[in-house]
Amino acid sequence: MSKKYAPQQFLNRELGQLEFNRRVLAQAEDTGVPLLERLKYLCIVSSNLDEFFEIRVAGLKEQIKLGSISAGADGMTPPQTLKLVREQAHQLIERQYQLFNDDITPALSAQGIKFIRRTQWNEAQQAWVRDFFFREVMPVLTPIGLDPAHPFPRVLNKSLNFAVELQGKDAFGRNSTRAIVQAPRVVPRTILMPPEISGCEYGFVFLSSILHAHVGELFSGMEVLGCYQFRVTRNSNLFVDEEEVKNLRLSLQGELPQRHFGDAVRLEIADNCSPTIAELLLKEFNLATEDLYRVHGPVNLVRLMEIPGLVARDNLKFPAFTPSVPGVLMKKGADMFKVIRKSDVLLHHPFQSFKPVIDFIQQAASDPSVVAIKQTVYRTGVDSALMEALIAAAQRGKEVTVVVELLARFDEEANINWATRLEQVGAHVVYGVVGHKTHAKMLMVVRREDGKLRRYVHLGTGNYHPRTARLYTDFGLFTANEEVCADVNEVFGQLTSLGKARTLNHLWQSPFSMHAEVLRSIQNETRLAKAGKRAHIIAKMNALLEPETINALYEASQAGVKVDLIVRGVCALRPGVKSLSENIRVRSVIGRFLEHTRIFYFRNDLKHDVYLASADWMDRNFFRRIEVCFPVLDKKLKKRVLDEGLKIYLQDNTQAWEMDGEGHYRHKNPRRAARKCAQNELLRQFATQSVKSSR
């Protein structure tokens, strides 16, 4: 039984997330990163912060509203955490806009990519903008004057709006002084001006600038004293009582529209907004002064994410690459079942293509010997070849079972639509287990061979999502190992049927065995170290928060176990603290691709156990989700995971950040040492393999 540690030996989750976004912002600050990619990183920070406020800050406010004073593992109460979050978020956002205005925008301008502000428009540009306004914008605008007959309109979550101060009387003699203009969602937020008008290769005009310039056209005969853009972020947590509802899908469909109108948690306004309007908006949205963020620039930098796609300048982007395909699958029309029967196949995305996964399920859908397909769906996207293949398989009369997680945050609508289409063609669609999100990544095909049924499975660390498979690092494993396949079949049985959980051969499963097995493996290394043997743990994940696991790692460190943790995001463990965690090192790698793999290595007295998982070491993954952690049994593939997924990242000295005991990060700087970048090295390695395989 692990002993308990004091709260000061744990770091705060919310503050850790802000630290993570500082590391992402550092990518936008790095002049060694291609310019348009720097702009993307700036936008990613805004997108991350949106979700942070929608979920984490909203959760803190909800706890405070309910009077909660209970402290987390770090000993901080919700009010204490919210106070520090507000302070640090203000600093982070101020630095973000400073970088946008003083560094990235001038650098883009020097490359002929300009954001043309209305104060800079010449006569030809003014004429073009005016024509665009009356042709594309004016017809879809509905200005709302604020008076007793026109109360403050419902403002959508994260939508662009304008508060207008007016003077004079309108057509009915009303002396209204304020109005709200909601920017139409059908009009892009950045508009590309023709080069002959803009005077540069790529000249962009913000929709906010166009509305500012012509807002007077909406209030004929009145004087516009001020026009100020604003944006409100709302609580986006869905409140569905899974224990009470009779039909989760119907209840969720009813709840989704309300996400746009949850309680406000943040107000962003232009820095020139008058104190009167700022006070009016804060009062309207029931927010405190600390929830107000004045920004010098567009209130929604996320919208600039589309700019790199509109600019054909490859020299300002990361070099293009083509994911490789394992040699055994290179042959056109390769029989995937034959290949997998012969030996397990490991895919390392995005360096290796996700196409074999699509090929596998498409072959299964068209193969007359395949009798059944089962798959979990967490995030798969609006347009998915995999889902289309499942639909085709069901149409051909195969038994298709899909476990769809309806509560996959921000993917609920897409998943509901897929569930509907699958049901329409006769597939069995289930929604997992009430109270537990199905986060496991599993695909199983049952095939009749020589009069017997044989199973094939694919297990992964990432979602069945072709687009993110090009952006996230993940591992996927194909196997026909009978014991592993039996384990996967058992987990599918739990998800679709009823009954007690049985002991599995190889898989660790949440919420039943994974937490206990992780603790057992850590404690085994501790025991070996105490016996004088060499002990080593390497774990790579997105977040490390679960207190008992952290306690076990502290005890392992004190026993002499070497612990290397590669944690991309939030880590509540304090590394390198004397007499507590001197043998623990924590690093975060931030690069071109989002590090998403979950890999757990235990030396285990030279047995070298290697596991891949869908789960991070967090409370929710251990206790409130259906997750699977699976071993890599093939020795060659085990070595690949160690080399490609762990060792190369421990050697990285360009994109790695070392964490100290206070939760602060220091960017590794090679200086005299040779530069080592894990992601770039893997790109080179797999490009070479691809060339060799094609010979």
Question: 3-state DSSP call for residue 390?
Answer: helix
User: Between 123-132 and 207-214, two packed helices, what is the crossing angle to 10 degrees?
Assistant: 90
| Concatenated DSSP letters of 682-694 | HHHHHHHHHHHHH
Rounded Cα distance between 683 and 298, Å, is 36
SS3 196: helix
Question: Cα separation of 114 and 581, whole Å?
Answer: 50
- How far apart are alpha carbons 167 and 172 in whole angstroms? 14
| Radius of gyration for the alpha carbons in the chain, expressed in angstroms and rounded | 27
Strand 190-193 relative to strand 178-182, pairing: unpaired
Distances (CA, A) of 39 to 46, 104, 230: 11, 7, 22
Which phi and psi angles does 305 have, rounded to 5°?
Answer: -60, -25
Nearest to 665 by CA among 587, 572, 568: 587
Residue 86 identity = R
User: Are 143 and 182 within 8 A, CB to CB?
Assistant: no
Where on the phi/psi map is residue 410: left (φ > 0), alpha (ψ -120 to 50), or beta?
left
Q: Which residues pair with 449 in a beta bridge?
A: 452
**Interacting residues of 215 by C-beta distance below 8 A, sequence separation 6+:** 162, 164, 181, 224, 227
Contact in structure between 172 and 215 (CB atoms under 8 Å): no
CA distance 294 to 299: 9
Catalytic residues: 439
Question: What's the N-to-C CA distance of the chain in angstroms?
Answer: 57
Question: Could you tell me how far CA 645 lies from the centroid of its own chain?
Answer: 20
| Secondary structure in 3-state letters for 575-589 | CCCCCCCCCEEEEEE
Separation between Cα atoms, residue 268 and residue 63, nearest integer Å: 23
CA angle, 655 then 657 then 661, to 5°: 175
